[in-house]
Structure 1
Amino acid sequence: MKKLLVAAMVGTAFLAAPAQAQDNTGKVQVKLLGTAVLPDGKITDKPVDLVPLPAATQTKANDNVVPTVAIEYFFTPEVSIETICCMTQHDVDAVAGLPGAELVSNAKVIPATFTAKYHLNAGGISPYVGAGVTYFLWVDVKPGAATVPAPLNVTKTKFSDEFGFVLQAGVDVPVGDSGFGITLDAKRYFVDTTAQWYVGNTLAIETDHKLDPWVLSAGVAYRF
Structure 2
Amino acid sequence: MNRLTLCAAALAATALGAPALARAEDGRWQIKLLGSGVLPDGRIDGVKTDLIGLPAGSRTRADDNVVPTMAIEFYATPNLSIETICCLTQHKVDGAGALAGARIVDHVLILPATLTLKYHVDAGPIRPYVGLGPSLFVIMGEKPGATAKALGASRVTMSNELGLVLQGGVDIPVGDGGLGINFDAKKYFVDTIARFTTTAGVKALETRHKLDPWVISGGVYFSF
Q: Please tell me the TM-score bracket, short chain as reference.
A: 0.7 to 0.9
Distance 2:65 2:192 in 1: 18
* TM-score with structure 1 setting the length: 0.86
- Matched residue, 1:63: 64
Q: CA deviation at 1:121?
A: 2.2
Distance 1:100 1:61 in 2: 13
Distance 2:103 2:127 in 1: 43
Gaps of 5+ in 1: 1-25
Count of residues in Structure 1 that have an aligned counterpart in Structure 2: 197
- Matched residue, 1:208: 208
SS in structure 2 of the partner of residue 155 of structure 1: strand
Give the letter aligned to residue 80 of structure 2.
V
Structure-to-structure mapping, 1:108-187, within 5 angstroms: 108-149=109-150, 152-187=151-186
CA distances 1:147-206 after superposition (whole Å, capped 9, x unpaired): 112xx1210000010000000000000000000000000000000000011112000000
Distance 1:67 1:44 in 2: 29
Distance 2:106 2:90 in 1: 9
Distance 2:29 2:165 in 1: 22
Q: CA deviation at 1:98?
A: 1.7
Give the letter aligned to residue 167 of structure 2.
Q
**Structure ranking higher in helix proportion:** 2
Give the letter aligned to residue 223 of structure 1.
S
Distance 1:110 1:172 in 2: 25
Gaps of 5+ in 2: 1-26
SS in structure 2 of the partner of residue 148 of structure 1: helix
Distance 1:101 1:188 in 2: 28
Structure-to-structure mapping, 1:47-62, within 5 angstroms: 47-62=48-63
Q: CA deviation at 1:55?
A: 1.6
Q: CA RMSD in A?
A: 0.8
Identity %: 54
Displaced runs of 4 or more, over 4 A: none
